[in-house]
Amino acid sequence: MPAVLALETSCDESAAALVTEAGVVASALASQVEEHARWGGVVPEIASRRHLEALPGLIARVQRESGLSLAAIDAVAATVTPGLVGALLVGSVMGRTLARLHQKPFLGIHHLEGHLCSAWLEGDRPPMPHLVLLVSGGHSELLRVDRPGRYRRLGRSRDDAAGECFDKVARLLGLGYPGGPAIERAALGGDERRFAFPKGRVSLPDGGFHPYDFSFSGLKTAVGRQVRELEQAGGPLPLADLAASFQAVVGDVLVERSLRCAEAEGLDTLVVVGGVAANRRLRERLREQASARGIDWRVAPLAWCTDNAAMIGRAALERLAAGQTSPITLGVAARFPLEEADALYAESPCF
């Protein structure tokens, strides 16, 4: 059974994992979140340095925990796009060096393909084709997946990503970084119907609204305006109600538009992945609404929603099974379309 060593360093989590077709054998993660929290966001230079320090120890740990030596694995994989270039370079160079040293194939992985595969790290693959709602710090997209490697984007955010919106609103409420978990905690016990925040509909040039594109920047502005009004009125901010009302509208919009998209495209399975998929209010809404509308749904296991290397290993196994490997000279790129991810396995490097 093929085993892959996978590395993830695209943003502020350093991670290594050993994955086989049977599941995750070992996974280790070093989060830099606390260090970046001081600055209110990720500082690229600090991220690269911390990856460089953390990765060797994480690789050693997954080897120890899995009992698998590098000689016994079948391939090495690393995230190569999208992300912070300096951060990606650390994982990519380490991955390619290990692959060359141990004469194993190397696979460069598209980070978003990793997120898509996170949904079947535990359990069966969802039926193909299916619809994926991918909601992370950098992306909010609806993707039709015909098979691993064949994707079509059906919807997207026109401005901020959902996770980015959580992060910005958390900063506005003085709740710290990363915003998603902070807002979820602050919302506990809050009244989600107290404030009616806008659902961010996207106008079409010929009138009407886009059925399933998202817009989150107006929502952030509306929360800001509400906070200023409340501050001017004096007294402590009703943080729990603000957080709960905000969290509810994001979850409702995401679930509502995803289900509409699935119905319109005749896709009867909806899969939700990415950091924001960890949100419990969103998960509850998905369960209620999808079941009510007869759409089969699944959401990535909580442990694999935010960035990790296991999902990168899962994506690498899919590519390996399709007979694909990357050239050892493949570089990294800040951005690259997911729809073109096949190019990472072309004979000559695409970047």
Return all residues near 224 (Cβ < 8 A) that are at least 6 apart.
172
CB nearer to ligand KG4: pick between 95 and 179: 179
Residue 334 Cβ vs ligand KG4, minimum distance, rounded to whole Å:
13
Asked if residue 114 binds ligand KG4 (CB under 6 A), the reply is no
Residue 40 Cβ vs Zn ion, minimum distance, rounded to whole Å:
19
Q: Which listed residue (91, 114, 126, 137) binds ligand KG4 by CB under 6 A?
A: 137
DSSP-derived secondary structure letter, 161: -
Q: Which listed residue (307, 318, 320, 325) binds Zn ion by CB under 5 A?
A: 307
Asked if residue 138 binds ligand KG4 (CB under 6 A), the reply is yes
HSE-up of residue 306 (Cα within 13 Å, Cβ side): 17
DSSP string, 1-37: --EEEEEE-SSSEEEEEEEETTEEEEEEEEE-HHHHH
303: closest CA among 13, 7, 4?
Answer: 13
Residue 43 Cβ vs ligand KG4, minimum distance, rounded to whole Å:
16
CB nearer to Zn ion: pick between 87 and 107: 87
Asked if residue 307 binds ligand KG4 (CB under 6 A), the reply is yes
Asked if residue 13 binds Zn ion (CB under 5 A), the reply is no
Decide: residue 347, CB within 10 A, 0-12 exposed, 13-18 middle, 19+ buried.
exposed
At residue 278, φ and ψ (nearest 5 deg) are: -75, -15
At residue 269, φ and ψ (nearest 5 deg) are: -130, 130
| Distance separating alpha carbons of residues 162 and 165, to the nearest angstrom | 5
Residue 135 Cβ vs ligand KG4, minimum distance, rounded to whole Å:
7
Asked if residue 336 binds ligand KG4 (CB under 6 A), the reply is no
Asked if residue 274 binds ligand KG4 (CB under 6 A), the reply is yes
CB nearer to ligand KG4: pick between 11 and 332: 11
Return all residues near 199 (Cβ < 8 A) that are at least 6 apart.
219, 249, 252, 253
Identify whether the C-beta of residue 5 lies closer than 8 Å to the C-beta of residue 77.
yes
Asked if residue 306 binds ligand KG4 (CB under 6 A), the reply is yes
CB nearer to ligand KG4: pick between 98 and 165: 165
291: closest CA among 264, 306, 305, 270?
Answer: 270
Stretch of 100-108, 140-148, 161-169, 334-342 lying at the interface with ligand KG4 (CB under 6 A):
161-169
Q: Which listed residue (106, 120, 151, 166) binds ligand KG4 by CB under 6 A?
A: 166
- Residues contributing to the site for ligand KG4 (CB under 6 A): 11, 136-138, 163-164, 166-167, 178-181, 184, 274-276, 278-279, 306-307
- Residues contributing to the site for Zn ion (CB under 5 A): 136, 307
